[in-house]
Amino acid sequence: MTGRDWLEKAKKENFAIGAFNVDSLDILKGVCIAAQKQKSPIILEFSQGEVDYFGLKNVADLVANAREEYEIPILLNLDHSKSVDNCLEAIEAGFDLIHFDGSELPIDENKTRAAEVVRAAHEKGLLVEGEIDKVPGSSEVHKEEIDLEFLKKSYTKPEQAKEFADAAGVDIFAAVFGNVHGTFAIEPELDFELLKKVRETLPDKFLSMHGGSGISAENVREGIKVGGIVKVNINTEIRQTFIEALKEKVNEEPTQYTYYKLANDISLAVAALIEDKIDVLGSAGKVE
């Protein structure tokens, strides 16, 4: 099944596929272990910083090897790329999904650049995600509370979303309805009525939810049910789990200098988190 096939299945059957950021081999292994156990499709996604760390060709090879080793559907996504050239490189490298983030550009320029990525991707049967309203926050653990009034300024305007999506031709639209990058002291309120309007305005597009970390299971499920969300991005909680597991292992074995002897338990800690996320998203058991 192609990326489009999987997102169509998710939309029809009312579940979402987890898009999990990868910035270490241990995280990649943990995500794949969980997906294999849960018989779930997954999206492995790499931001441009993560791509630069691994190397573009290495990313493509790692994911190709993981597909073969774990025998599960894995879609490869370039996450929040702000460069058309980087998007084009990812298309040529064999990525399945391309997220062009032009949210910091004037909307007409965003349309033009996104359309360029769409043309190149569609020639190869690939999907493109677009974004016009910058998702607030950053993929970190924030101790402060988020400014809800400031947050509301970033909310998606349904008609503007339709204008952009139609002009650019994107397949997936990143909706902003209270979701934020990172975790905060208090979970932000999600505007499900707005999300429903976005869904009604963009009936032929797939919708994604960024900032899946720190959102309650109940609210994630509601976003899938009400808004037809088919892709949920999760990053911060994975990083947090990885670092906490690493610290615990180093504290348990302070004289152990062979890293790979510590790594297995770290991957299993990540796997436990991902199993829970897959349950929430409803994608468990979708691989026959």
DSSP string, 141-201: E--SPP-HHHHHTT---HHHHHHHHHHHT-SEEEE-SS--EEE-SSPPPP-HHHHHHHHHH
Of 28-32, 85-89, 173-177, 270-274, the range with the lowest mean pLDDT is 173-177
Is 133 inside a domain boundary?
yes
Q: What mean pLDDT is predicted for residues 82-89?
A: 97
Q: What mean pLDDT is predicted for residues 178-202?
A: 79
CATH of the domain at 197: 3.20.20.70
Q: How far apart are CA 25 and CA 46, in angstroms?
A: 12
Q: What is the mean pLDDT of the chain?
A: 92
Q: What mean pLDDT is predicted for residues 32-53?
A: 97
Q: What is the pLDDT of residue 288?
A: 83
Q: How far apart are CA 67 and CA 73, in angstroms?
A: 7
Confidence of residue 142 (pLDDT cuts 50, 70, 90): very low
Is 286 inside a domain boundary?
no
Q: What mean pLDDT is predicted for residues 96-121?
A: 96
pTM of the model: 0.92
Is 50 inside a domain boundary?
yes
pLDDT tens for 104-116 read 999 999 999 999 9
Is 223 inside a domain boundary?
yes
Determine the structural domain holding residue 62 and report its residue range: 3-281
Is 287 inside a domain boundary?
no
Q: Is the pLDDT of residue 272 over 90?
A: yes
Confidence of residue 201 (pLDDT cuts 50, 70, 90): very high
Q: How many domains does the chain have?
A: 1
Q: What is the pLDDT of residue 185?
A: 47
Sequence-separated contacts (24+) of 119-123 with Cβ below 8 Å: 119/169, 120/87, 120/88, 120/91, 121/87, 121/91, 122/169
Length of the chain: 288
Is 190 inside a domain boundary?
yes
Token pair listed for 34? 């969980």
Q: Is the pLDDT of residue 76 over 60?
A: yes
Residue type, position 262, single letter: L
Q: Is the pLDDT of residue 193 over 90?
A: yes
Task: Give Cβ neighbours of residue 81 (< 8 Å, ≥ 6 apart).
Answer: 47, 48, 87, 90, 98, 99, 100, 101
Of 141-155, 242-256, 262-276, the range with the lowest mean pLDDT is 141-155
Is 237 inside a domain boundary?
yes
Is 259 inside a domain boundary?
yes
For the four alpha carbons of 125, 127, 132 and 137, in that order, the dihedral sign comes to negative
Q: What is the pLDDT of residue 134?
A: 66
